[in-house]
Structure 1
Amino acid sequence: MNTLAVTTEHQASIVLVEDDASLAEWIVNYLRGHNYRVHHIARGDQVAAYVQQHAPDLVILDVMLPYKSGFDVCRELRMFYPQPILMLTACGEEADEILGLELGANDYLSKPVRPRVLLARLKALLRREPQEPSTQGILRFGQLKILRDAKTVFYRDEVVAITAHEFDVLWLLASNAGKVIRREELVTQLRGIEYDGFDRSIDIRISRLRKKLHDNPEQPVRIKTVWAKGYLFSPEAWE
């Protein structure tokens, strides 16, 4: 059984995402003693569906989780969830803390968790006014979703693993969906140099994007090659 639920009259409802059973039990009992309602989830891949259905007031999210990392969960939640996210990070892992904040977490807490500090952080976060998720910097085409700030691509609700350079190409093409973008323009905007007629770096990135986005490289329909002109991102081909 991966979840345990505690229901009481509460100040706020909290989802705790933590795969360490003993730590999770301790946090649940501690927060229950302070009149919170807590639901525990031990797997990263189960979080988004539960949060979408139950709309808790706050999520406590561990970084290291089975099936889906806390970073991926945070990124996924921030597509629809405006309430606070508190990330739990390994002690001294500054890179984890920075990445969590960049992905949309409101605060972080290093392990081992100190009870009074945890409670103070929760109270501070719950006093904040929730922010509506921003639609700026998000492009949607059928089942394709592109998040500019997080440099993240979702297709059919799955994260597509692409590099930063590949993302930049995709964002530029998708921002001009239905319009042919010349290779010269892509090279100038993305590499900051003039096209010399020999540079094939953009072609290589587009070839890799097609493979990762399940576009037929022999007859692409999603990122099309327009002979002697450039490339065209098709907005209707993402079902």
Structure 2
Amino acid sequence: MRVLIVEDEVFLAEALQAGLRHEAIAADVSFDGDDALERVAVNEYDVVVLDRDIPGTHGDDVCAAITRDHPAVRVLMLTAASRLNDKVAGFELGADDYLTKPFALEELIVRLHALARRPVAVSPPVLEFADLRLDPFRQEAYRAGRYLKLTRKQFAVLHLLMQAGGGVVSAETLLEKAWDENADPFTSAPRVTMSTLRKALGSPDLIATVSGAGYRLVEATP
């Protein structure tokens, strides 16, 4: 999952970014509305965590623009206000969820996973491929009924592979979605994580390396 945090309180924004990264959620930070709109235009975010009161383009206008121009992107609005009419106004602008400050990081993470699994079209919340089964909301993965004890990064990478349904996922996409914009493009992290993921999944191998392109899931051969 890749998330954009739009928050002008630097300490809070950076704390949220660190907390989400710890949960293997790729998180970028924007401190004003204008920068947020530019980032959404050029990056593929799953969810935007959006403070209403930000410099530049107001959070309400950012929300309306995302809803209009990027309907696949979910918006979770943050505000210090707890009045009902503020929440109603946010939902009327197209926000998918609402969180009032102060809030617990654990609640934000649960809400992000819930938003990310909401279908844009029709897609199952639980993903299956061959004998693999992955539940993004519960953060659980199984192979042939066997629970897979995966690290957060391994789970994020497997999630991307299963979403592709056998299609090729490039190393660049892995960095963008499972890491974030600050990841070193020359890092060996995706390759190392893929290697440890293969071991965690066991035999026969379900992950194929496509030379010069990336990785994909394949049906196990007898």
Give the TM bin, normalised by the shorter chain. Answer: 0.5 to 0.7
The TM-score, its normalising length taken from structure 1, stands at: 0.49
Shift of 1:37: 0.7
Shift of 1:131: 5.6
Q: Which residue of 2 aligns with 1:116?
A: 106
The TM-score, its normalising length taken from structure 2, stands at: 0.52
Aligned partners of 1:84 and 1:130 also within 8 Å: no
Structure with higher Rg: it is: 1
- The correspondence for 1:88, drawn from 78, 84, 90, is 78
- The correspondence for 1:79, drawn from 68, 71, 86, is 68
Figure out how many residues of one structure are paired with residues of the other and give that number.
121
CA deviations 1:158-184 (Å, max 9, x no partner) are: xxxxxxxxxxxxxxxxxxxxxxxxxxx
Q: Which residue of 2 aligns with 1:129?
A: 119
Shift of 1:46: 1.5
Q: Which residue of 2 aligns with 1:34?
A: 23
Q: Which residue of 1 aligns with 2:180?
A: none
The DSSP-based 3-state class of the residue aligned with 1:79 is helix
What is the 5 A alignment of 1:160-239? none
CA deviations 1:6-30 (Å, max 9, x no partner) are: xxxxxx0100000001110110010
Q: Which residue of 1 aligns with 2:142?
A: none
- The correspondence for 1:99, drawn from 67, 72, 89, is 89
Sequence identity, in percent?
36
The DSSP-based 3-state class of the residue aligned with 1:95 is helix
Q: Tell me how far apart the structure 1 counterparts of residues 93 and 65 of structure 2 sit (CA, whole Å).
A: 9
Question: Is residue 51 of structure 2 the alignment partner of residue 62 of structure 1?
Answer: yes
Q: Tell me how far apart the structure 2 counterparts of residues 92 and 45 of structure 1 sit (CA, whole Å).
A: 25
Q: Which structure has more RCO (C-alpha within 8 Å, separation ≥ 6)?
A: 2
Aligned partners of 1:43 and 1:66 also within 8 Å: yes
Instruction: Report the AA paired with residue 115 of structure 1.
Output: L
Q: Tell me how far apart the structure 1 counterparts of residues 85 and 56 of structure 2 sit (CA, whole Å).
A: 21
Shift of 1:94: 2.2
- CA-based RMSD: 1.5
Aligned partners of 1:18 and 1:65 also within 8 Å: yes
Q: Which residue of 2 aligns with 1:20?
A: 9
Q: Tell me how far apart the structure 2 counterparts of residues 127 and 101 of structure 1 sit (CA, whole Å).
A: 19
Q: Which runs of 5+ in 1 are unaligned?
A: 1-11, 133-239
Runs of 4+ with >3 A deviation: none
